[in-house]
Amino acid sequence: MGGAVSAEATVEGLASELGSYLDISRINQVRRAYYYAEQAHEGQMRKSGDRYITHPLAVARILANLRLDHQSLMAAMLHDVIEDTGIPKDALSEQFGEDVAELVDGVSKLTQIEFRSRAEAQAENFQKMTLAMARDIRVILVKLADRLHNMRTLGPMPYEKRQRIATETLDIYAPIANRLGMHAISTELEDLGFSSLHPMRARYISKAVDKLRGSHREIIEEIRGKLQQKLEERELPGKIQGREKHLNSIYNKMKFKHKSFHEIMDVYAFRIITETEDDCYRILGAVHSLYKPLPGRFKDYIAMPKANGYQSLHTTLFGMHVNIEIQIRTEEMENIANNGIAAHWMYKNESSGVIAVNQARVDRWVKGLMEIQERADDSMEFIEHVKVDLFPDEVYVFTPRGRIMELPSGATPVDFAYAIHTDIGNAAVACRINRNLASLSQPLQSGQTVEIITAPGAKPNPAWLSFVVTGKARSSIRHVLKTRKRAESLELGRTLLKRSLKGFGAQLSDISEAQKQLVVNHNQVNSFDDLVSDIGLGNRMAYLVARQLVSGGTDDAGEGQSNIGNIEDGKYGAVTIRGTEGLLVKFASCCKPIPGDPVVGIMDEGNGMVIHSDTCDRLPEDDAGRARLTHLKWAKDITDEFSVELRVELERQRGVIAEVANAVAMADGNIERISVEDQNARFGVVSLVVHVHGRRHLARVMRRVRNIRAVTHISRVRY
């Protein structure tokens, strides 16, 4: 009975705490949820030997400190009931209402699935968390409080489980708490995770911090005294607090910024809490008059808040032979910095513009996550996209109309374009930075004004994936490329299939739906379109599928005997290519074919068709390989440019390279690259990569270069 009495005392202790901001009827509902959970968990114990109910109660206490609403506290009491005691969601709904049942269900679902690997577990968990957050942000607040109490009581767990939970906390939960602006919970989760993963390092850093703090006490007090004196002198209200450095952040600075422990700890950090925004700027002036500010170290997060709603003035001063970091903020900003989105409930009854803006930011972030979630193929791809968004080191840039856009460090104009709107990103062709034309891959700097130039019909370039950093840009580009690849594989597959059917004297329109379905079933694919797409991707041979369609669905005989002669002499009719077919038609880098060259296509598994010159040494010699070749012909009206490599042997003379370049330009050629390969005192060999429209244009270019007196020989290079 003693256990029950002490538990009751703690729930009564919680109830008296809640009295400061909840009315009696709501406190009674929280109390009722506690007794329901106590009964449901009767007989269950934690690893530490405590009764299980102590955990839900502790989670509710954490949320009570954040002054969360009564429904969140009830969900905290009941959060393990569905999972651990077999009580269905309907029963909770009947007892405590639909909202509480939904919250409990949301929290339960975050930890329910069996996973094949830890990475997948984290990704899957995070994906579910996103869906839950989109429905009700309180789900994640309960989950964070649950994780925080579990981390505080991780000691009795087996080593393996401790490591897994700590890693997941550092990878996912701490960054989410940070992204929601909940600094106090985020730093505690980080420090607990770090201490659990690296107990020796944590102990060493902790001891070193205590030792250093003792020896620096006098300097700290002296700086604090001077700051206090300056504020009193100017009659400015302000509480001055020392700022603790957290173990995990010290460790990360040592590890990733390669700073020594003393370099990090020789900075003295203070926070000044004042009454109004106006006071913040006045105090900034006062501290700058006391000590010299370091150039480039001032940040105004009041005018430009961080993505998670954080606001403060940051400045670094040099005084008394040491660096002094100072943060200046109001009481409300301090609350938002520590409690982030949870501060929404603290100020719910007061009209606070800051809170509304903060809420809007979180809503926008969650909405962005939902967009990425819809485009991702699986949970691993999804988490790869959002991890960057959870660790932003922000840059702030402006739209031409003066709107501030916040992007992660290293973001490019393409990231900026997608941040404005997916359609603008997809149609981007160029950009202006501070009114000057700039590269789309150039990393942006804070304070720049960025303008995106779009063109109708433009498409994302696959090369963008190598430099974009935001999840939204990456997932949007991949989504468009996947859709485009699918459409192109269908078109190419259909062309190849029609040509193969022609060889059997049949047309695609003659094939009945029943015949198509038989072939689909035989090849074990979901649809006829999937089968055609596989042909376009090079995963299946058009000839074999055509024969199955003609013979009634299952003829697989003679797979190697694919009527090679017919393919080689083009009996089926050649496939026409323009050279601009997109992602699934590539030109071989070995022979660099151009319009006018006799060419063949060879299917490259999963990647479509590669076009070679028909005399290329890289083409297969065996019958099975020749069977994979497709006879091609060039369209008549090609206007695109193609790369050709030329080898020019010449006598060395002053200005001869310029003469060669001029000759190419006179023949309307475009030089991509020019380099001297080999030379002695009298002769040299120059390698030229030139863009031409076709064979005739190439002949014109070569004739111009050959006419230069110093040129002894010119030839086209094929590897």
Query: What pLDDT is recorded for position 428?
Result: 93
DSSP symbol at 318: E
Per-residue model confidence (pLDDT) at position 180: 77
pLDDT band at 570 (very low <50, low <70, confident <90, very high): very low
Mean pLDDT of all residues in 196-216: 85
Residues 6 or more apart from 443 whose CB is under 8 A from it?
Answer: 410, 411, 412
Residue-level pLDDT at 446:
76
pLDDT of residue 563: 40
d(C-alpha 609, C-alpha 128), whole Å: 39
Which of the listed ranges 12-16, 230-234, 259-263, 317-321 does the model predict with the highest average pLDDT? 230-234
50 an active-site residue?
A: no
* Burial class of 589 by CB neighbour count within 10 A (0 to 12, 13 to 18, 19+): exposed
User: Per-residue pLDDT for 463 more than 60?
Assistant: yes
Query: What average pLDDT does the segment 26-39 reach?
Result: 90
The full DSSP string for 228-250 is: HHHHHHTT---EEEE-PPPHHHH
The crossing angle, in degrees rounded to 10, of helices 199-233 and 247-256 is: 100
Q: In the predicted model, what is the mean pLDDT of residues 583-593?
A: 81
CB neighbours of residue 320 within 10 Å: 13
Task: Please give the mean pLDDT across all residues of the chain.
Answer: 80
Q: Which residue in the list 17, 69, 84, 99 is annotated as catalytic?
A: 84
pLDDT at 353 over 60: no
In the predicted model, is pLDDT for residue 238 greater than 80?
Answer: yes
pLDDT for 321-339, tens place per residue?
A: 778 899 999 988 888 777 7
Query: Which tokens belong to 132?
Result: 């839950």
Please give the average per-residue pLDDT across 285-310, as a whole number: 85
Asked if residue 404 lies in contact with residue 450, where contact means CB atoms within 8 angstroms, the answer is no
Binned at pLDDT 50, 70 and 90, residue 471 comes out as: confident
Q: Mind listing the pLDDT tens digit for each residue in 79-117?
A: 888 877 778 888 888 888 888 888 888 777 665 433 344
Residue 365 to residue 363: CA distance in whole angstroms: 5
pLDDT of 566 above 50: no
Place 361 in a pLDDT band, splitting at 50, 70 and 90.
low
84 is known as an active-site residue: yes
Closest to 64 (Cα-Cα) out of 122, 27, 17: 17
What tokens appear for 205 in the block? 């850093």
**List of E strands, 565-669:** 575-577, 585-587, 599-604, 608-613, 629-634, 642-651
Is pLDDT larger for residue 193 or for residue 604? 193
Identify the CA nearest to 534 among candidates 483, 605, 481: 605
Question: What is the predicted pLDDT for the residue at 328?
Answer: 95
Q: How far is CA 445 from CA 313, 347, 454, in A?
A: 20, 35, 22
Active-site annotation holder among 8, 17, 69, 83: 83
Asked whether the CA dihedral 301, 303, 305, 311 is positive or negative, the reply is positive
As given in the structure block, the two tokens for residue 253 are 């600075």
- Predicted structure pTM score: 0.57
Give the mean model confidence (pLDDT) for residues 614-635: 78
Segment 61-73 shows an average pLDDT of: 87
156 CB-side CA count, 13 A: 8
% of the chain residues with pLDDT over 90 = 19
* Of 575 and 324, the one with more pLDDT: 324
Asked if pLDDT for residue 517 goes beyond 80, the answer is yes
Using the predicted structure, report yes or no on whether residue 554 has a pLDDT greater than 60.
Answer: no
pLDDT at 277: 92
Q: How high is the pLDDT of residue 133?
A: 63
Tokens 């009945």, residue located: 512
Alpha-carbon dihedral 174, 180, 185, 187, rounded to 10 degrees: 60
| The pLDDT of residue 571 is above 60 | no
Residue 260: is its pLDDT beyond 50?
A: yes
**Other C-beta atoms lying within 10 Å of the C-beta of residue 300:** 15
Rounded distance, CA 249 to CA 226, Å? 28
Residue 559: the pLDDT is 41
| Mean pLDDT value across residues 110-137 | 57
What phi and psi, each to the nearest 5 degrees, are found at residue 597?
A: -70, 140
Which residues are paired to 325 by β-bridges?
269, 316
Beta strands in 312-469 (DSSP E): 313-319, 322-330, 394-398, 404-408, 428-433, 436-438, 450-454
**Mean pLDDT of the region 619-639:** 76
Q: What pLDDT does residue 270 have?
A: 92
Distance CA 342, CA 63 (A): 9
Q: What pLDDT was estimated at residue 288?
A: 93
Q: In what order do the strands lie in the sheet with 629-634?
A: 575-577, 629-634, 599-604, 608-613, 585-587
* Nearest CA-CA partner of 449 in 475, 431, 470: 431
Q: Residue 80 has what pLDDT?
A: 85
- When pLDDT is averaged across residues 385-407 and rounded to a whole number, the result is 71
Reading the block at residue 271, the tokens are 């926070």
Whether the Cβ atoms of residue 303 and residue 324 lie closer than 8 Å to each other? no
Q: Helix or strand or coil: residue 28? A: helix
What integer is the mean pLDDT of 701-707? 93
640-666 pLDDT per residue, tens: 788 899 999 998 888 888 899 999 999
Distances from the Cα of 486 to the Cα of 42, 403, 483, 493, 596, angstroms: 56, 37, 5, 10, 29
Could you tell me which residue, 379 or 410, shows the higher pLDDT? Answer: 410
